[in-house]
């Protein structure tokens, strides 16, 4: 039996992982999907919620529940959270999984990975939405060819604004990511010509990293939950 802690991507809560969590439990594992601060849909003041707030929240869950030998699974935005948690709690996190995830880079924010003109646009959106990074609508989500129109609309209806400071606050790492025991899950249809970003591609040569590919788009917990759960279940 493996203990999984599942961190959602941007705009989502624990509900996003339930299709996979249900399957992991059916395989005999423990699965703990989390909702990160500011993503419960209550739309309170987001000004105090930064990237460090999300990292501290996950660390507190691990300590308060005395979870050990955890496989910490992240998706998209939450990779930058998971990487820092694993860095600071190596005695509790045995393996980190990045599902089409953003990797933390010391001293850099998630937003700094975007082109400069896009950074300006996203900062303007956050300012116009009272400190929240607005969720995509169904039309934008439908650009993922693996999501059905129903799934895209359902996802748009459930997503909420994401605390903006979490994508503008820089990550803090004490050790190189290459030293973690980790798995990166590539969602093939999320890439053109199988090209990965340089910071991800360079880790293919790291001896403690494994890479796996699923033939789906950016939201595999909805479009390929069986395959994703089976892959996670094989991680030791």
- Which SS3 state, helix, strand or coil, does residue 107 take? coil
Mean pLDDT, rounded, for 114-136 = 92
pLDDT of residue 236: 79
For residue 193, pLDDT over 90 is answered with: no
Distance (Å, whole) CA 92 – CA 12:
25
pLDDT of residue 114: 87
For residue 191, pLDDT over 90 is answered with: no
Q: What is the DSSP letter of 169?
A: S
Mean pLDDT, rounded, for 168-176 = 97
Q: Is the pTM of this model over 0.75?
A: yes
Domain range 3-233, CATH architecture:
3-Layer(aba) Sandwich (3.40)
For residue 178, pLDDT over 90 is answered with: yes
Higher pLDDT, 216 or 116: 216
Mean pLDDT, rounded, for 123-142 = 94
Residue 191's CB: how many other CB atoms inside 10 A? Answer: 15
Domain coordinates in residue numbering, the chain: 3-233
**DSSP 3-state helix, strand, coil percentages of the chain (rounded to 5)?**
45, 15, 40
**What average pLDDT is seen over the chain?**
95
Q: Find the helix packing angle between 225-233 and 18-26, rounded to 10°.
A: 50
For residue 152, pLDDT over 80 is answered with: yes
Which of 66-75, 123-132, 190-199 is most confident? 66-75
Local confidence band at 200 (pLDDT 50, 70, 90 cut-offs)? very high
For residue 231, pLDDT over 80 is answered with: yes
Local confidence band at 190 (pLDDT 50, 70, 90 cut-offs)? confident
Return the sign of the alpha-carbon dihedral for residues 83, 102, 224, 152: positive
Q: Report the candidate in 89, 116, 83 with the shortest Cα–Cα distance to residue 200.
A: 83
pLDDT of residue 159: 97
For residue 77, pLDDT over 80 is answered with: yes
Mean pLDDT, rounded, for 203-223 = 96
The DSSP bridge pattern shows strands 132-133 and 162-163 to be antiparallel
């Amino acid at each position: 039996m493996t203990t999984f802690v599942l961190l959602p991507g941007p705009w989502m809560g624990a509900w996003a992982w339930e299709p996979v969590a249900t399957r992991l439990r059916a395989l005999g594992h423990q699965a703990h999907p989390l909702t990160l601060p500011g993503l419960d849909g209550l739309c309170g003041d987001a000004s105090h919620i930064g990237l460090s707030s999300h990292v501290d929240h996950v660390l507190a869950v691990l300590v308060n529940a005395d979870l050990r030998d955890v496989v910490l699974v992240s998706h998209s935005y939450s990779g930058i959270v998971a990487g820092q948690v694993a860095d600071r709690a190596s005695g509790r996190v045995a393996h980190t999984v990045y599902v089409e995830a953003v990797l933390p880079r010391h001293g850099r924010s998630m937003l700094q990975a975007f082109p400069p003109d896009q950074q300006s646009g996203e900062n303007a959106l956050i300012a116009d939405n009272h400190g929240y990074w607005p969720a995509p609508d169904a039309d934008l989500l439908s650009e993922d060819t693996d999501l059905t129109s129903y799934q895209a609309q359902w996802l748009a209806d459930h997503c909420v604004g994401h605390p903006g400071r979490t994508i503008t606050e820089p990550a803090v790492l004490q050790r190189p990511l290459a030293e973690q025991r980790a798995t990166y899950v590539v969602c093939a249809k999320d890439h053109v010509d199988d090209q990965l970003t340089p910071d991800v591609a360079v880790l293919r040569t790291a001896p403690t990293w494994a890479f796996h590919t699923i033939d789906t788009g950016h939201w595999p917990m909805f479009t390929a939950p069986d395959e994703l759960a089976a892959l996670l279940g094989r991680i030791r």
